[in-house]
Structure 1
Amino acid sequence: MAERVLVGAGVGNGVGIGPVFRVIDRNQRELSSAIGSRHNLSVIRAAIDAVADEIEQASGREDVDAVMSALGMMLRDASLLEQVKARLADGVSADRAIRGAFAQFARSLASLGGYFAERSDDLVALAEKVIDTLAGVDEVQLPTTPYVLVTDNLSPMVASKLDPAIVRAVITRTGTPTSHTGIVLRSVKIPSVVGVNAIDLLVDGVDVLVDASSGQIFVEPSAEELENYSRAEVFDEVLPPIAVGELPVTVLANLGSSAEAVAAHRVGAQGVGLFRTELLFLGRQDPPTLDEQVLEYTRLLSQFEGQRVVVRVLDTDTDKPLPFLFTAGSGKYANRGFQVLLANQSILDTQLEALSIAQNNVPNSDLWVMAPMVVTASEANEFARSAKAHGIRNIGIMVEVPELVEVLDGALEQIDFVSIGTNDLAQYTLGKNRHGVGAEISDARDPRVVSLIRRVVEVANGRKIPVGVCGEAAADLESSKLFVELGVDSLSASPALIPALRESLKRLL
């Protein structure tokens, strides 16, 4: 399996594979005093106008032209130049005056919320473009052979010039799927993942697999993962929704943000089998507010009215450092799974309350909420009590460790559904490194792991509780057949992998 998997918000529905090319953030670059002394207000105005003129040039694509026109209007806003003038009067350098003015304008947009807030990040990249124009800095020379572009931020202007035949994918630290840059990347059909807090782990030349449909980045993907995704790379068809009874099991999508719902619908998914909520929490010094979470969960549920949506409450481990959480546990499960939320009850309560409000905001929603990596029966019962107290109607747990299988009957006393995370279950059962060294997707078919999955299905069936699989193995064609034979009720996979999965499952009928 991959060395590690990074997460962000997916833009588009494709898959890109290639070596990383890093464009270093130049926010700390300053103009020299000799150059800066020539940059009075009229020179800065001319640079802003030059950038506005450049981005307003027609691209030939209607949606991109609309974006460029909007950016041009933002640059020509008189209040922006007034902010620059005020900072120059205070004696700051030209580059700092520009960055400060653009940042203030961005904050003003963000305060308006909605459409404007989602576009405030575009101004950060535009400020750098204006500074480059003043300094006479040439654009970064990009490779002429296929690569994956990794950068802190990307302007819509640069995004519109990228060649999809060379740029296999884009990864950024900042931005949202609905920003102007996101719109342009979607238009030029370059698979992208934005808002990736951990891009510093990506160095030049390392191979990555970028799945825009699920917001995942596989670092040094394994041969099995490359084989799985080889079919997804060329798939660009919109499929009809999977009908009830069309396949032997329900097929759901794994998502990391509400923006990825489009990708799930394109491949006909019957709902969401795993919604990872970590993206709301990553890269922050404080947890997201109740209102922020309600907005995201409501957006998600409103796009799947009448369909099952399984949301996993915050799942954290050493790969996902969150400074506002107290640590919990010891040994191999230290700081993993539901025990972390038990040590941070207010975080859990806020998330459950937000999910409950979103559930009520969308009357026809079918929300299922599950706890990650439950280790004991008491943890399962505690989660059920907390979820019920907040009005959650469908409550589940993830089976990811062998110890839970031993006490599963007691753990299901107040539980409505079970989801098996095959990645962790296989690695902990077989004693392999969970960060990818020696671990393979096919480990889920090891007899020791199969025995545990069979036991989970038997116990759950005895209580008439549905069982799903949401690990990587759910999309592995050979493993999925085995899961169906074992009696699971649903399989959940990245949208990019669903077309091949549904075709394979049809042959089992």
Structure 2
Amino acid sequence: MTERVVLHGIGVSAGTASGPVAVVTPAVGIDQYEPASADPEADGQRVRDVLGEVASSLSNRAEHANSKASKDVLLATANLATDRGLIRGVDKELKKGAGVTKAVHDAVELYAGKLRKLGGYMAERVTDLYDIRDRATARLRNLPEPGVPALDEPSILVAHDLAPAETATLDPEMVLGIVTEAGGATSHTAILAAQLGIPAAVQVKGVSNAIVDEPRLAIDGSTGQVIVAPTDEDVADLDERSRRRAAALEGSAGAGQTRDGYGVKLLANIGTADDAVKAAGHDLEGSGLFRSEFLFLDRDSAPGLEEQTETYTKALQAFGDRRVVVRTLDAGADKPLSFADLGEEENPALGRRGLRLSQAREDLLDTQLQALANAAANVPEAELWVMAPMVATVEEAQWFAERARAAGLKQVGIMVETPAAAIRATHLLEQVDFASIGTNDLSQYTMAADRMEGELAALLSPWQPAVLAMIRETCRGGKTTNKPIGVCGEAGGDPAAALVLVGLGVKSLSMAPGKVNAVRAALALHDLETCQKMAEEALDARTAAEAREAVLALADPVLKDLL
């Protein structure tokens, strides 16, 4: 009989649930007894056929995906299955004498290493690549593919990791929760789970070993707590947490503001025009981050002026007179574009990405800025703001501002994602109209910790005092120049962290649309002075854990029901 065990991971999708376990079928691995390839050409064709089957299977799943975002993930993974670089890698391994499954494994591992080195968006695709490997290996061995089993009752999924291709087609009516031993807070799986409204926790070490005879589980997707073989009292406690959370959220509506009426704009992070249409249906005040790079990725040529104008116009029309902040192309070494290859770099994550790529390829930026200006003209009531990513110097801020204003754009800003930009915020803000802090990258560069490395998740906490100090410096620059500072990273969607950000001087918070209600409710519970005291306590704390504890000690008790 399974013993009651309480485990802790990282909560990535709020909500509570309890129910029976459904274990995701693990990957089968290499065939240890397969012979070396005697006919590399024939074996290569066999692998090509299997990868084609995997791609077709994923494309078919995309047709039944439960959202546009899920469909896009599945189609991107299907494209990766037939990537020419991957297939060339398999051919090389076969010619060395490897068997078919080992050739696939080694080629994928080599490719995955390259993607990790690139970082950012491409590093996130390593999970997709491993999913392709595991599906192809199973087909080559005539064994069942790994994945979610057929569910005959609502259950909580448990896996080492869950491929985005699996998450994208989950039925929220049948999947009560998701628990994985790997993964990270910004992985595709975490993001899709939040969009589907399925409670999820990642980095729950030891959960697979703790499961015997597939017991019941209980999960709190906010705190990351997972209880194996929960008692009736545990389940009742979770139910009570859900009830209290619903009560705390009741009445959360309208413009964001503190208890004493200090306004804080609550905005949505989006990636496509379709996202804009969906987000615009929520009770929020616009979009604080339109990730325009998704229009450029996975294609052989850059989108033209007409296509971009149409996309941006659709997004602006969706929000009407509400603010829309568009980030110009954030690509380059961490999100390679076949039509804008600047060559191999020793350290791509610190290379010519973001605005640095735009300076090397001015034509791409000029077309985008003109398309944005055209879209603004098409929607006269729109409040369009445009900002550049990865700005580190005054010269870069000035260069972008002059180019954007020459295109006719009125509100021009920058992203603060590096310690350099945070420390020199006053000087950079003298060149532009606003700044938005990308807390994910700012944390990564401040703490020297890859945000795709799950084992380093604690270093990337928005509660790290060093990261908070960088945000404080940015806000001081905003106060000195009288320029508004926003946040569009994951920290903005944390109700407790949002209070600290406001206390530091942040004027707007952008997040996943589903997180707005909780942040709005948290703000309404506290006045500005309390938020400022929270910020002081968090900055003075020695550790991230102590910073969070200090803030919760000052908070209204109801705040805990929103976390």
TM-score, normalised to structure 2, is 0.53
- Provide the identity percentage: 36
Q: Distance in 2 between matches of 1:330 and 1:376?
A: 22
Could you say what secondary structure the match of 1:445 adopts? coil
Of 295, 298, 302 in structure 1, the residue corresponding to residue 317 of structure 2 is 302
Q: Distance in 2 between matches of 1:25 and 1:401?
A: 45
Matched, 1:287 2:294: no
Alignment partner, residue 437 of structure 2: 420
Per-residue CA deviations over 1:105-135 (Å, capped at 9, x if unaligned) read xxxxxxxxxxxxxxxxxxxxxxxxxxxxxxx
Alignment of 1:423-502 (within 5 A): 423-436=440-453, 437-440=455-458, 443-502=461-520
Q: Distance in 1 between matches of 2:431 and 2:384?
A: 17
Could you say what secondary structure the match of 1:208 adopts? helix
Alignment partner, residue 259 of structure 1: 274
Alignment of 1:310-321 (within 5 A): 310-321=325-336
Q: Distance in 2 between matches of 1:453 and 1:362?
A: 34
Closer, same or farther in 2 for the Cα pair 1:20/1:302, shift >3 Å?
farther
How many residues align structurally?
A: 351
Could you say what secondary structure the match of 2:462 adopts? helix
Q: Distance in 2 between matches of 1:304 and 1:430?
A: 36
Closer, same or farther in 2 for the Cα pair 1:373/1:498, shift >3 Å?
same
Closer, same or farther in 2 for the Cα pair 1:320/1:497, shift >3 Å?
same
Offset of residue 238 of structure 1: 11
Q: Distance in 1 between matches of 2:176 and 2:376?
A: 38
What code does the residue aligned with 1:448 have?
A: A
Matched, 1:165 2:178: no
Q: Distance in 1 between matches of 2:197 and 2:391?
A: 23
Could you say what secondary structure the match of 2:288 adopts? strand
Offset of residue 217 of structure 1: 12
Matched, 1:348 2:365: yes
Offset of residue 207 of structure 1: 9.3
Could you say what secondary structure the match of 2:190 adopts? strand
After superposition, the CA RMSD in angstroms is 4.5
Say whether the 8 Å CA contact 1:207–1:220 is kept in structure 2: no
Matched, 1:242 2:255: yes
Closer, same or farther in 2 for the Cα pair 1:25/1:255, shift >3 Å?
farther
Alignment partner, residue 227 of structure 1: 222
Alignment of 1:80-99 (within 5 A): none
Alignment of 1:166-205 (within 5 A): 166=174
Alignment partner, residue 192 of structure 2: 211
Closer, same or farther in 2 for the Cα pair 1:14/1:505, shift >3 Å?
closer
What code does the residue aligned with 1:306 have?
A: D
Offset of residue 343 of structure 1: 1.0
5+ residue gaps, structure 2, are: 1-8, 28-47, 54-146, 178-182, 205-218, 226-240, 528-563
Say whether the 8 Å CA contact 2:313–2:376 is kept in structure 1: yes
Closer, same or farther in 2 for the Cα pair 1:27/1:334, shift >3 Å?
closer
Alignment partner, residue 381 of structure 1: 398
Could you say what secondary structure the match of 1:209 adopts? helix
The structure whose RCO (Cα within 8 Å, separation 6+) is larger is: 1
Say whether the 8 Å CA contact 1:253–1:272 is kept in structure 2: yes
TM-score, normalised to structure 1, is 0.58
In terms of mean alpha carbon deviation, does 470-479 or 16-25 score higher?
A: 16-25
Closer, same or farther in 2 for the Cα pair 1:226/1:243, shift >3 Å?
closer
In terms of mean alpha carbon deviation, does 458-467 or 393-402 score higher?
A: 458-467
Q: Distance in 2 between matches of 1:341 and 1:485?
A: 34
Per-residue CA deviations over 1:208-232 (Å, capped at 9, x if unaligned) read 2243787999998457994279999
Q: Judging by fraction of residues, say which structure has more helix.
A: 2
Q: Distance in 1 between matches of 2:271 and 2:383?
A: 18
Offset of residue 477 of structure 1: 2.3
What code does the residue aligned with 2:307 have?
A: E
